Amino acid sequence: MQTFFDFARPSDDLPLMREQLRAAFPGYLPHNIREPVGQLLKSMISSRTKDTVSLRSYEKLVRRYSSWPDLAEAPLAGIEEAIRDVTFAPEKAAHLKEALRLIALVSPEFDLSWLRQRPVSQALAWLETLPGVGRKVAAATLNFSTLAMPAFVADTHIIRVLGRFGIVGERADTVAVYDAVMSLAPHWTAHELSEFHVLIKQLGKTFCRFEQADCQLCPLSENCRFATSRLNARQVGVTRHRSPPA
Report how far residue 144's alpha carbon sits from residue 139's, in angstroms, rounded to the nearest whole number: 8
Select from 4, 68, 110, 165 the one that contacts ligand SF4 (CB under 6 A): 165
Map the chain to HEC letters: CCCHHHCCCCCCHHHHHHHHHHHHCCCCCCCCCCCHHHHHHHHHHHCCCCHHHHHHHHHHHHHHCCCHHHHHHCCHHHHHHHCCCCCCHHHHHHHHHHHHHHHHHHCCCCCCHHHHHCCHHHHHHHHCCCCCCCHHHHHHHHHHCCCCCCCCCCCHHHHHHHHHHCCCCCCCCHHHHHHHHHHHCCCCCHHHHHHHHHHHHHHHHCCECCCCECHHHCCCHHHCHHHHHHHHHHHHHHHHHHCCCC
According to the binding rule CB under 6 A, does residue 227 interact with ligand SF4?
yes
Task: Work out how close the CB of 80 gets to ligand SF4 at its nearest, in angstroms, rounded to a whole number.
Answer: 38
Task: Work out how close the CB of 170 gets to ligand SF4 at its nearest, in angstroms, rounded to a whole number.
Answer: 10
CB of 15 or CB of 78, closer to ligand SF4: 15
Q: Which one-letter amino acid corresponds to residue 27?
A: G
**Greatest extent of the chain over all pairs of C-alpha atoms, in Å:** 80
Task: Work out how close the CB of 25 gets to ligand SF4 at its nearest, in angstroms, rounded to a whole number.
Answer: 13
Task: Work out how close the CB of 233 gets to ligand SF4 at its nearest, in angstroms, rounded to a whole number.
Answer: 13
CB of 4 or CB of 207, closer to ligand SF4: 207
For the chain, the 3-state helix, strand and coil shares in percent, each to the nearest 5, are 65, 0, 35
According to the binding rule CB under 6 A, does residue 93 interact with ligand SF4?
no
Contact map string, positions 16 to 55, toward ligand SF4, x by CB under 6 A: ----------------------------------------
Distance linking the first and last C-alpha atoms of the chain: 46
Strand partners, 208: 213
Q: Which stretch binds ligand SF4 (CB under 6 A): 59-67, 170-178, 180-188, 220-228?
A: 220-228
Select from 136, 164, 197, 201 the one that contacts ligand SF4 (CB under 6 A): 164
Select from 48, 114, 214, 238 the one that contacts ligand SF4 (CB under 6 A): 214
Select from 67, 218, 241, 246 the one that contacts ligand SF4 (CB under 6 A): 218
Q: Which stretch binds ligand SF4 (CB under 6 A): 62-70, 111-119, 173-181, 215-223?
A: 215-223
Q: Which stretch binds ligand SF4 (CB under 6 A): 50-58, 126-134, 181-189, 210-218?
A: 210-218
Task: Work out how close the CB of 9 gets to ligand SF4 at its nearest, in angstroms, rounded to a whole number.
Answer: 13
According to the binding rule CB under 6 A, does residue 224 interact with ligand SF4?
yes
Site residues (vs ligand SF4, CB under 6 A): 161, 164-165, 207-208, 213-215, 218, 220-221, 224, 226-227
